[in-house]
Structure 1
Amino acid sequence: MTTTTATEVVLPGPVEPAGFQLRRRQIGPPAPGQALLRVEASGVSFAEQQMRRGTYFDQPAYPFVPGYDCVGVVTAVGDGVDTSLVGRRVAALTKTGGWASAALLDARDLVPVPDGVGPAEAETLVVNGLTAWGMLHDTARIRPGQTVVVHGANGGVGTLLVQLARHAGARVIGTCSARHTEAVRALGAQPVDYRAPDLHERIRALAPHGVQAVFDHVGGPGIVHSWRLLARGGTLVAYGSASTRDDPRNGRATMLLVGRLLLWNALPNGRRAAFFNVWAGRRRARSFRARQHRELTAVLRLLADGVLTARIAARVPLTEASRAMELAESGTVVGKVVLVTEHTPG
């Protein structure tokens, strides 16, 4: 029976990035329905930034291994699993557990990565790609010729939102810091400095009749301005609360944000508001997995075909997760910080 020694990054409690711990442990063999994955890459997302503070709205109990998603090669499968998976590179949405050199996962959650796509490149599209695709196509239902606003257009989700919206035929206005203006413009968006005191007036000048969608990960007081940017029939999609990331009451702030969006939906002005959660619908496991598989397959194919470009801010060794977190939280990067694993025997 196959077992392996895994290196894992452990979050012991609310700590600064330097507080992450490393451990080695034996895992495997895979149980029926499971696959053993040699993890090649995992990502640093906004969720882990909140989790290390204990402010994530669905906070896992400490201690745990972070890692919202991962990409790797299947090395063994349990009973009832297609043996052709062995040797295949796959991607998985995990919520926790991805920051490891090996992981046991439910084989039903694995999505094959197209040939020719590297692990770090594929990793940038797992949780970020599912989030961007779901918000754009399932929630906002963007059509060609429409105009959308992407806040944080230089981020991991933002860079994919811009590219997917442009591929869908939409015009994109993207907010970012001045240092990222050219990078956002190269993606196909019209950049606007988010630090400008008249930010929303500048956006209105670019779209005087309103926009069909605003994608807002910031929350806080600025969510009101995002709502006011919408044209009749437009949709505000909130998917985070970065403005309260450091607040111990962030979970409560997120719930208040969701409540506000629900109230706005009751207004008779022809606009909609929604809070996007990539895990919505997971209680209906079969349909949830089917949608996740379909949409992740679609974005990975777009990457393989050259329609999407993977925006990797940095590749950082798994054993330097503390440095990776500091970089991800610095606000200086374009794209996603990816943890990569160097596998050695033993």
Structure 2
Amino acid sequence: MRAIQITEFGGPEVLREVELPDPVAGPGQLLVRVDTAGVNYADTHTVENSYLSRSSLPMVPGAEVVGRTPDGRRVVALTENGGYAEQAVVHEHLAHDVPDGVSDVQALALVVQGLTAWHLLRTAARLTAGESVVVHAAAGGTGSLAVQLAKAFGAGRVIATASTEEKRALALELGADAALDPDPASLKERIVEANGGRKADIVLEMTGGPVFDASLAALAPFGRLVTYGMASRTPPAPVEAAKLLARSQTLVGFWLAHCLGRPGMYHEPLAELLAMTAAGALRPRTGGVYPLSGAARAHRDLLARRTVGKLVLDMTR
């Protein structure tokens, strides 16, 4: 089968197309003939070996696939790497049937980024009706869904940040009430201004560095800042517990991996997201469709912040 394999850690240049033996499913696993594989920002960390979980070589990257099982089911599934290939082995309990009316790209947008957005709002931030929500990287795969879900879940005001005018326009189209440049200079003041002079109740933050620092400064008493990434590769300033105490604030870390295998945290929210999408109430955005051989280009585009929405690899190309 064709696959993308890495034999050394590094940037997009280490992603190479090769021929590998077909994988074999073991007990509790399914073999999936992959039609489309998802590309996530986390994949760039995996290839660098800078992710939360360490990688081993050689490796076929890719954490999510849509395809057919031997008995003809069309499923979307998470993988333990191995997704950038024409066939993948997945754990049976992580395969979810895709309903009619939901495309491959839409399903892939939901299984990692949609579930992440759902849990950021429901599980980590515990959004209640009327609260204000700041969504950083609001034109990206997770951010674009978080904007829509925040509105659907009753947020009072959604403030998006995105790096270009085009991306900010997209965030507004998806339902954000305001869209800001994420430049850390005066970001705190601009968030407060966009929220009608009040600090924010919830911030969803995945950039790190000074954006994290400004976001924490813009947080209201009893506010929750949820951190779920560090795209800048720059750690934020240390957070003093005494300052959180003095402001009655909560700092929450979130990693989707901790939801897998826990009752009610995978299939149930994914079914809700798929149903919302099939009904037209949620609009996952297609950010780019690449051939399998274009995996390195997809990673370069992600790292250069040239993309919006969901990126995928089409195994037929």
TM-score, normalisation: structure 2: 0.92
Q: 1:33 Cα shift?
A: 2.1
2:35 corresponding residue in structure 1: 40
Give runs of aligned pairs for residues 68-79 of structure 1, distance below 5 A.
68-75=63-70
1:280 corresponding residue in structure 2: 258
Q: Residue 230 of structure 1 contacts residue 271 of structure 1 at CA under 8 Å; is this kept in 2?
A: yes
Q: Residue 212 of structure 1 contacts residue 230 of structure 1 at CA under 8 Å; is this kept in 2?
A: yes
State whether structure 2 residue 138 is matched by structure 1 residue 153.
Answer: yes
Q: Residue 79 of structure 2 contacts residue 89 of structure 2 at CA under 8 Å; is this kept in 1?
A: no
| Cα pair distance change 1:312/1:281, threshold 3 Å | closer
Q: 1:95 Cα shift?
A: 4.3
Equivalent residues, number: 313
Within 2, Cα distance between the matches of 1:40 and 1:333? 22
Q: Residue 184 of structure 2 contacts residue 211 of structure 2 at CA under 8 Å; is this kept in 1?
A: no
Q: 1:281 Cα shift?
A: 5.3
Q: Which moved more, 1:88-97 or 1:142-151?
A: 88-97
Give runs of aligned pairs for residues 195-234 of structure 1, distance below 5 A.
195=183, 197-207=185-195, 208-234=197-223
| Cα pair distance change 1:261/1:306, threshold 3 Å | farther
Secondary structure in 2 aligned to 1:12? coil
Q: Residue 264 of structure 1 contacts residue 272 of structure 1 at CA under 8 Å; is this kept in 2?
A: no
Q: 1:154 Cα shift?
A: 0.9
Q: Residue 16 of structure 1 contacts residue 52 of structure 1 at CA under 8 Å; is this kept in 2?
A: yes
Secondary structure in 1 aligned to 2:290? strand
Within 2, Cα distance between the matches of 1:266 and 1:50? 30
Secondary structure in 2 aligned to 1:279? helix
CA deviation profile, 1:223-265 (whole Å, cap 9, x unmatched):
22211222222110000111217xxxxxxx5xx88xx568368
2:280 corresponding residue in structure 1: 306
1:187 corresponding residue in structure 2: 174
Q: Residue 265 of structure 1 contacts residue 273 of structure 1 at CA under 8 Å; is this kept in 2?
A: no
Amino acid aligned to 1:45: N
2:301 corresponding residue in structure 1: 327
1:129 corresponding residue in structure 2: 114
1:250 corresponding residue in structure 2: none
Amino acid aligned to 2:255: N
Q: Residue 8 of structure 1 contacts residue 99 of structure 1 at CA under 8 Å; is this kept in 2?
A: yes
Q: Residue 191 of structure 2 contacts residue 200 of structure 2 at CA under 8 Å; is this kept in 1?
A: no
Within 1, Cα distance between the matches of 2:114 and 2:201? 21
CA deviation profile, 1:9-68 (whole Å, cap 9, x unmatched):
112212332321222233355333221101112222111112222222322112211112
| Cα pair distance change 1:338/1:143, threshold 3 Å | same
Identity of aligned residues (%): 34
Q: Residue 262 of structure 1 contacts residue 274 of structure 1 at CA under 8 Å; is this kept in 2?
A: no
* Superposition RMSD in Å: 2.1
Secondary structure in 1 aligned to 2:247? coil
Within 2, Cα distance between the matches of 1:147 and 1:126? 26
Within 1, Cα distance between the matches of 2:194 and 2:31? 50
Q: Residue 311 of structure 1 contacts residue 336 of structure 1 at CA under 8 Å; is this kept in 2?
A: yes
State whether structure 2 residue 288 is matched by structure 1 residue 337.
Answer: no
1:19 corresponding residue in structure 2: 14
Q: 1:107 Cα shift?
A: 1.0
Amino acid aligned to 1:183: L
Q: 1:318 aligns with which of 282, 286, 292?
A: 292
Q: 1:279 Cα shift?
A: 1.0
Q: Residue 317 of structure 1 contacts residue 339 of structure 1 at CA under 8 Å; is this kept in 2?
A: yes
Within 2, Cα distance between the matches of 1:297 and 1:281? 15
Q: Which moved more, 1:109-118 or 1:49-58?
A: 49-58
CA deviation profile, 1:160-190 (whole Å, cap 9, x unmatched):
1001101112121000123322111101111
Q: Residue 13 of structure 1 contacts residue 54 of structure 1 at CA under 8 Å; is this kept in 2?
A: no
TM-score, normalisation: structure 1: 0.84
Q: Residue 124 of structure 1 contacts residue 336 of structure 1 at CA under 8 Å; is this kept in 2?
A: yes
CA deviation profile, 1:114-147 (whole Å, cap 9, x unmatched):
1121112211111101110011001111122211
